[in-house]
Amino acid sequence: MPDRRGTTVAVASMCLLLVLAGCGGGSSHSSTPPATNAGGTTTPAPNPAASAATSPPTTAVSTSCDLPLTHDTYSGFHIAVPAGWTLSTLGGEIQVAKDSQATEAVLVYPALQKASLTPAGFFSSYLSQLEQQAQSAGHPVSVTPEAPRDGFPVDSLTGTEGSTPVRGEATVRQLALQTSGASSELVFTAYWAPPAALPSDAALLSSIATCYGPERASLFQVFQDQVFTYIMPPGWTVGDESQNNIDLHLGTTADVSYLLAEAIPSSQVSSAQGLIDYVLGHDGFSGVQALTTVSPPSQATQAGTQSTEYEEFTGTVNGQSDHGLIYATTSVGGGVTGGVVRLALSTADQWNSLNSGMIQMAGAIQHNFSQDLQQLQQVMQQFDNFSGQVEDFDDVLNNQQLVQDPTTDKYYEAPYSSYTVDGSAGPGYYLPNGQRLNEIQRS
């Protein structure tokens, strides 16, 4: 199965995240950042809640699914998540897992159906990509074609998740999703479980996959100041900002942070993992448990030895159980360590519905940015797009349309599902006040 857990994750292209030149992060649930980011002045926080932006409905959409649904109003989808299971959205892949090792899980990957892309072609391309990733990670998957179901291809899967043998099934669906570039999306789905559990759990796993569907998504407003460029959906505010860090908050529920750490003695921090431990320790986390860790080999550069680390974790801070995603890169040389960290964090009970939006926000933060919005899109997509998507289709969760309000010149990142076909000025992306937004071409 596509192995996304452990110290060497099979989704090898996830390491795209780890080579980004500007990646950094900050602290969360903390009134003061680590000492290494001191020295800046706090700037006034913009209030995105006061600006017009799409606010999606929070009520359940019409669906035949009889399982409890989790609604992600940032990327714009719903999916069934049984009690105690976890939803993650890395690289455009939606994974609903029963445990931290994902030995029993469902994988959903939605992509726009553009041009001549067929369900069979998409299914074959994406399944082949997953096979290659699993092979590279040393956990090959055996794929056996089965009889088509409702005209769509179906394959049975046999492999391992970590060291646990698993079996499952993969197929593809076609759903309506009207955007500026397509009128439908193709949804690759796969599920797996240990052979002993599969007979009794196959119906549940299949139902989780078929409960996926698109919903209206929020718009992310683009903010720029003298130090940072970043995006925020409605309800988020800037908690604090200095020359080297910025913290974005959703009340006391969630935080997205960026930190530039400078001149830490290498006796204290000498690696990306050390910087992660340093930041989490300073913020008062206890009981930290790594769920997923990606550690590519260190590299020698003119500035010293560079290392990177990506970690999904759970822990407790200020008496609150949290779930987070942290990324760090460090350069060690001359007895000192410099580095940057990005951190996306929410209360554990809100992680399932918030993590996709927080990952987008963490990827979009740029330090000392040159107001190149095209570059902003590219960097955000690189950060989000761990999966190395096939060239002939667009990942629905990661790729967004840049749009601009012609009356205020404000920019927004619009998820595909925030497109409206029946707006007063014709199909397009709209603010709640009825203002149609102009689409900005990516090239």
Distance CA 132, CA 429 (A): 37
Ramachandran quadrant class, 64 (left: phi over 0; alpha: psi -120 to 50; beta: rest):
alpha
Element (H, E) at 345: strand 336-347
Q: Where are the beta strands (DSSP E) in 379-423?
A: 400-404, 411-415, 419-420
- Strand locations in 177-285, DSSP E? 184-193, 213-214, 220-224, 228-232, 237-241, 245-250, 254-265
Q: Which residues fall within 8 angstroms of residue 65, CB to CB, at 6 or more apart?
A: 80, 207, 210, 211
Architecture of domain 69-214: 3-Layer(aba) Sandwich (3.40)
pTM as predicted? 0.80
pLDDT in tens, the chain (443 residues): 543 333 222 222 222 222 222 222 333 333 222 333 222 223 333 333 333 333 343 333 445 688 999 999 999 999 999 999 999 987 788 999 998 888 999 999 999 998 889 999 999 999 998 898 888 888 889 999 999 999 999 999 999 987 899 999 999 999 999 998 899 999 999 999 999 999 999 999 999 999 999 999 999 999 988 889 899 999 999 999 998 899 999 999 999 999 988 888 988 999 999 999 999 998 999 999 998 887 878 888 777 788 888 899 999 998 999 999 998 988 888 888 888 899 999 999 999 999 999 999 998 898 864 444 545 455 444 454 444 455 668 888 888 889 999 999 999 999 999 999 998 999 999 998 999 999 998 65
- Judge contact between 167 and 193, C-beta under 8 A: yes
Q: Report the amino acid identity of residue 215.
A: E
- Cα 321 from Cα 286, distance rounded (Å): 10
Question: Which residues have a Cβ under 8 Å from the Cβ of 170 and sit 6 or more positions away?
Answer: 123, 127, 143, 154, 155, 157, 188, 189, 190
Residue 38 pairs with which residues in a beta bridge?
none
Domain residue ranges of the chain, discontinuous segments joined by +: 69-214
Q: Which two tokens stand for residue 130?
A: 């997953």
pLDDT value for 409: 94
**DSSP-assigned states of every residue in 30-79:** -SS--GGG-S----PPP-GGGS-------SPPS----SPEEEETTTTEEE
For helices 351-364 and 373-384, angle between their N-to-C axes, nearest 10 degrees: 140
- Residue 69 main-chain phi, psi, to 5 deg: -100, 145
Quote the pLDDT of residue 389. Answer: 53
